Amino acid sequence: MRKMLSALLCLALPLSATAGEARAFKNPYVAYQARDWVTCARLYAAQADRDPPVGGAAYDAACCLALAGDREGAFARLLATPTSQLRRHIAEDPDLVSLHGDPRWIRLIEHFHRDEAERAATMDTALRTELLRRMSLDQELRGKYLQDTENQALGAQLTEVDRDNTRWLKETLKARGWPGYTLVGRDGSMAAWLLAQHADLEPAFQEEVLAILGSAVERGEASGAHLAYLTDRVRLAQGKTQVYGTQFHTVDGKAVPLPLENPEQVDGRRRAVGLITLEEYSEQMNSRSPSTQ
C-alpha cells in the first residue's frame, strides 16, 4: 500500500470508521484505513484497470486482496505487474504476509530482486541516495510543521530546507537534466518532483522545471501525474485556475479544490495522466492531511 507519497511503506493508520459502521467508500485509501479489505481491493482494482492505470494501484489491490484472504487474486495482480512497478519493500510488506508460504512467493521475490539488481547496475546510486535523503527530510519537517503551524522556529527551518533543496535541484538539473526512471529509479524521480513541487519561493524556477519534466514524461522517464501536480502549482502561482484539481485549501474545516478550469471536464484530464477522480481524491484529502501538498 501507499500514502500520497507512493514510494513509502504500506499504510498502517488508525481506523477512520468504527467497527460495524456502514459506509460507501469512493476512495480505496479510505477503505484501507477502515480495514474494509474487500472494498479496498475492489476500488484499487478498478483504478488499476483504467487506461492509463493509476500508478501503484495494482500493487495496492494485491495488498488488499491478501488482507481479505484472496491469495489467488493477490498473486494474479502481483504476477501481472512489471517488477519495476512493485514496491521496493515488497519482501517485508506486512500486508502480504499471508502469501509467504506459497512457492509462487519465493519465485516472485527472486524475480523482483534479480530485476532490481539489473536496474541498479545502470543507475546513479549516489544521486538517487541524495534525492531520497532530501525527500525524507522534506517530509519529516513538513509533517511536523503541519501539526504545529504556530512554531516559527520549525517554519524557518522548513523554509531553509526548501531553499537548500531548490538550490541543489537547480544545479542537478543543469548538470544532469531530469533524474528519470533509468537514472535514479521511480522513487528517485519522484523525489526530484517533490523538491520542485515545494520550490514555491522560486516560481520562475518551477516554470522551468515544468518544461524539463514534461519532456521526461514524453520519453517515459517520469510520471504524468507528477507533471499534473506541478502544472497546477505553477498555474496557481501565476494567478490562473488549476487544470487537474490537485491543489486544495480548507473551507469551513473541509478540504476543497482551489478554482478549476472547466471543472466539468476535470476527471477526463485526471484520467489521462493516471490520477484518481476528483471525488475519490476529495474523500482522501478529507481523511487526512498529507505533507506532500
- Average pLDDT for 116-120: 95
pLDDT tens by residue, 233-290: 999 999 999 999 999 999 999 999 999 999 999 999 999 999 999 999 999 999 864 4
Q: Copy the grid coordinates of residue 258.
A: 482551489
Burial class of 88 by CB neighbour count within 10 A (0 to 12, 13 to 18, 19+) = middle
Exposure letters 111-145 (e unless 16+ CB within 10 A, then b): ebeeebeeeeeebbeebbebbbebbeebbebbeeb
Using one digit for the tens of pLDDT, what is the confidence trace for 129-167?
A: 999 999 999 999 999 999 999 999 999 999 999 999 999
The 8-class DSSP code of residue 159 comes to: H
Does the pLDDT at position 179 exceed 80?
A: yes
Q: What pTM value is reported for the model? A: 0.87
- Grid coordinates standing for 143? 509533517
Element (H, E) at 251: strand 248-251
Residue 164: in which H helix or E strand, if any? helix 152-176
Handedness of CA 207, 211, 291, 124 (dihedral sign): negative
